[in-house]
Structure formats: C-alpha cells, structure tokens
C-alpha cells in the first residue's frame, strides 16, 4: 500500500468516525448480520451500546484468494487496534494445518500453498468502542470492490470493560500432565493446584512453575505432553543404567518446560536451545533452577546452559528431546547427531501423522538407529530413536 493511499484511508476513517457521535454501546452479545445494507451504522451501533472499551468485527469465510492478510493491513490502516486471521474451518473435517516454518518448501509444495493461510479464513479486527463500524464496512467494500463488494457474513461483538489480564488468569487453571506434573503459573495459588490435582497424592507429582508470556509450552499441547511423558520414561531408564548424572538437551525449548521437568526428575545437566529466547525464557530457567534447589535441598540439578543455535558448545548429550516441527527437525538431523554421545536417545514431536515417515527417513539417513513412530496423540506423533554405540 502506498503512502498516499495510507494517508487517504486514515483521513477517510477519521472523517467517518467524526461523522457519527461516539455511541454508547448496548448488549455485549455478538450479533450476526447476513447482509450488508449501506447503513448509517446507527441502527447497529445503538443495538450494541454498553460500557465497552472495544468492539470487534469478524469477516467470516473469506477465501484465501481474497488475500485476508491485505484486509488485515487495511483494517489496521483505518484504525483497528489489532487484527487476527483464523481458520474458518477450525474444528471441522476441512480443518487444515498451516505452518510457516523455515525450510518448509517441500511440505508447502505438496499442498500447493501460495501463502501460509487457510483455504477459508475469518478476519477479526478490534476497534475502539467509539469507532463507527458502519463506516468500516463501507470503506472495506469501497476499497476492495472486487473481493468484498457486498460483504454478507460478519459478526459484531463488543468487549466489556474489564481487567483482561486478571480475567485470563482466572480462567486458566494449572494443567496436570500424565498425573506426574502440574504446570502452573506464578499467579496460581496452592488452592488452584488442589483444584486440578485433587485426586493425586501431593508426594506423587511435581509442580513446574512456568512464566506467563508468549513462549510455547504451557502443557496444553499434545506435543508437549508426548515429550514430557517420554522424558519421564527415558530418565527413569537412563538413571537405572547410568547411576549418575545425565546430560539432556532440550532443543526448541520454548517455555523451557521439558528441560525443567528433566531437572526436577533427577540430578541432571540440561541445556536448552531456542530461537525465541527472551527475558521470559531466561526467567523461566532461573525459576526452574531455584525451584529445583528448593525441592532437592541442593544445587546438583543444573539448568544453567542456555544457547542460541549459533552459540552451541562442544558438550555431547545422553538424551535429546526436540519438540519443534517436521521441516526444521529434518534439517536438524545431522546437527542433533553430532551433538549426541554414542548410545544417546532421541525423542521428537511437532510431527503430523503424514510427516512421520519423512522424519524417520531423514534421521535414519543421518545415522540414527531404531527410528520409530512411538505414539500418536491429538494428531501429533512422538518419534524416537538412538545414536548407535559404534
């Protein structure tokens, strides 16, 4: 979009907003309209009068050829505070996984994707409550006459004025994984843990405190659960064999949940590697260290190595868990091989059912043995193998 048109849209929006007195909005319920009439949006707006601070509009079932990304850009240009694209077919048989991952070309070519969006998308934009949604609709129709000449399917909602952080925290209970780990956030109280682990003996599970933020790995996702169960099993087996410390590599650490679990299960040296390292992750690792020291009464468990892939050290590991995605895992096969000791075991997830063979093949080619699709949970695979003892 050129600077000129950007300016034009902004001016147009301001004029549109000013042309209509800021509404007081009503019912907080979503309203679905089946046809766009060229309305002075007063009729819609007065139906939505309330103490809302934000209102949202969701354009439904847009074909990907209509470039929902461009629509998002436009909505931001005219004053949206945020936009989001979601899969209109989510939860149906037509739901389709879409990833924009490095090195994903073979996968993308196979599905002939031209852009990493779904076949049919919903686009949601949040506007300040004072914005004139009718004006927004008119501008979209006028600006995209070919794609959206007569928008017919959209939903308007108002968001009540509330402390959203507290609201989200209240609705987010700790998560129990495999009856062994309770993953909680700093705001959770003992009573929250009891609510979810009421059927467990407090000596039988470990609490892992994660930091709230953007990092993947809250414990909700099947891939995290598959990897946690595998780490638990492998550490038990390895400890029986080795009678000592284990060096574990958590490749693609996200929240650091897998590395923390390893630390808590037994004395280990754990290295976590990620590409989205930020202060939250560092905090998570710090809290894991403190947590372990507190629980074990000593400092033998050690989660103090944190690397970017470009800063890898020479250490070799006995165990590697890597929950990333199939395409980067395939690319990483020789790297992981070189980082492991002979006899080391490897567990990977982030792999979809029809990607399992591709991963097994890549790791076998890189020198790993016994590469096996171990388990499937929620449409995700756990693939395991080992580095042969020469």
| Residue whose tokens read 């956030």 | 185
Alpha helices for the chain (secondary structure H): 3-18, 42-47, 68-77, 105-111, 133-143, 164-171, 190-196, 222-242, 257-265, 279-296, 326-339, 356-365
Query: Could you tell me the smallest distance in angstroms from the CB atom of residue 385 to ligand SAM?
Result: 18
Query: Could you tell me the smallest distance in angstroms from the CB atom of residue 259 to ligand SAM?
Result: 8
Q: 23 or 328: whose CB is closer to ligand SAM?
A: 328
Best CA proximity match to 287, nearest among 257, 310, 322 = 257
Q: 52 or 177: whose CB is closer to ligand SAM?
A: 177
Query: Could you tell me the smallest distance in angstroms from the CB atom of residue 349 to ligand SAM?
Result: 7
Query: Could you tell me the smallest distance in angstroms from the CB atom of residue 333 to ligand SAM?
Result: 12
In the 8-state DSSP scheme, what is residue 187? T
Structure tokens at 270: 């754990």
C-alpha span between 207 and 180 (Å, rounded) = 9
Query: Could you tell me the smallest distance in angstroms from the CB atom of residue 281 to ligand SAM?
Result: 8
Please say whether the beta carbons of 210 and 199 come within 8 A.
no
C-alpha span between 321 and 249 (Å, rounded) = 6
C-alpha span between 248 and 204 (Å, rounded) = 23
Query: Could you tell me the smallest distance in angstroms from the CB atom of residue 310 to ligand SAM?
Result: 10
Q: 129 or 345: whose CB is closer to ligand SAM?
A: 345
Q: 213 or 343: whose CB is closer to ligand SAM?
A: 213
Q: 75 or 306: whose CB is closer to ligand SAM?
A: 306
In the 8-state DSSP scheme, what is residue 64? G
In the 8-state DSSP scheme, what is residue 103? T
- The residues binding ligand SAM (CB under 6 A) are 215-217, 223-224, 227, 251-255, 257-258, 273-276, 309, 323-324, 328, 350
Best CA proximity match to 66, nearest among 120, 113, 108, 9 = 120
Q: 48 or 257: whose CB is closer to ligand SAM?
A: 257
Query: Could you tell me the smallest distance in angstroms from the CB atom of residue 218 to ligand SAM?
Result: 7
Query: Could you tell me the smallest distance in angstroms from the CB atom of residue 216 to ligand SAM?
Result: 4
Q: 16 or 306: whose CB is closer to ligand SAM?
A: 306
- Planar angle of CA 17, 36, 83, nearest 5 degrees: 55
Q: If you write DSSP's letter for every residue of 205-268 in order, what string do you get?
A: -EEEEPPPSS-S-SS-SHHHHHHHHHHHHHHHHHHHHH-S-EEEEEES-TTSHHHHHHHHHSSE
Q: 55 or 221: whose CB is closer to ligand SAM?
A: 221
């Amino acid at each position: 979009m050129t600077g000129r048109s950007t300016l034009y849209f902004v001016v147009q929006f301001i004029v549109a907003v000013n042309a209509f007195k800021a509404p007081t909005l009503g019912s907080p319920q979503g309203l679905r309209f089946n046809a766009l009439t060229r309305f002075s949006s007063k009729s819609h707006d007065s139906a939505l009068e309330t103490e809302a601070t934000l209102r949202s509009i969701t354009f439904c079932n847009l074909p990907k050829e209509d470039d929902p990304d461009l629509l998002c850009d436009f909505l931001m240009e005219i004053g949206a505070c945020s936009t989001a694209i979601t899969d209109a077919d989510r939860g149906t048989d037509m739901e389709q996984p879409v990833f924009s991952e490095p090195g994903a070309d073979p996968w993308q070519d196979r599905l002939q994707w031209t852009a990493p969006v779904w076949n049919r998308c919903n686009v949601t934009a949040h506007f300040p409550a004072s914005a004139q949604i009718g004006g927004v609709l008119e501008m979209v129709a006028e600006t995209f006459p070919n794609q959206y000449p007569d928008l017919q399917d959209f939903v308007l909602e108002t968001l009540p004025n509330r402390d959203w952080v507290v609201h989200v925290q209240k609705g987010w209970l700790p998560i129990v994984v495999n009856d062994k780990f309770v993953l909680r956030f700093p705001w959770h109280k003992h009573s929250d843990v009891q609510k979810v682990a009421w059927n467990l003996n407090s000596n039988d599970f470990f609490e892992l405190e994660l930091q709230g933020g953007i990092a993947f790995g809250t414990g909700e996702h099947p891939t995290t659960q598959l990897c946690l169960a595998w780490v638990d099993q492998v550490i038990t087996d390895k400890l029986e064999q080795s009678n000592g410390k284990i060096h574990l590599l958590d490749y693609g650490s996200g929240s650091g949940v897998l590395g923390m679990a390893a630390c808590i299960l037994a004395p280990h040296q754990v290295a976590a590697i990620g590409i989205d390292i930020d202060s939250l992750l560092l905090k998570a690792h710090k809290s894991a260290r403190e947590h372990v020291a507190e629980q074990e009464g000593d400092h033998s468990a050690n989660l103090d190595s944190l690397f970017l892939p470009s800063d890898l050290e020479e250490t070799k590991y006995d165990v590697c868990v890597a929950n990333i995605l199939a395409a980067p895992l395939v690319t990483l096969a020789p790297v992981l091989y070189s980082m492991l000791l002979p006899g080391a075991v490897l567990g990977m997830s982030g792999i979809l059912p029809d990607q399992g063979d591709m991963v097994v093949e890549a790791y076998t080619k890189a020198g790993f043995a016994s590469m096996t699709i171990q388990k499937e949970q929620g449409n995700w695979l756990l693939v395991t193998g080992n580095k042969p003892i020469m």
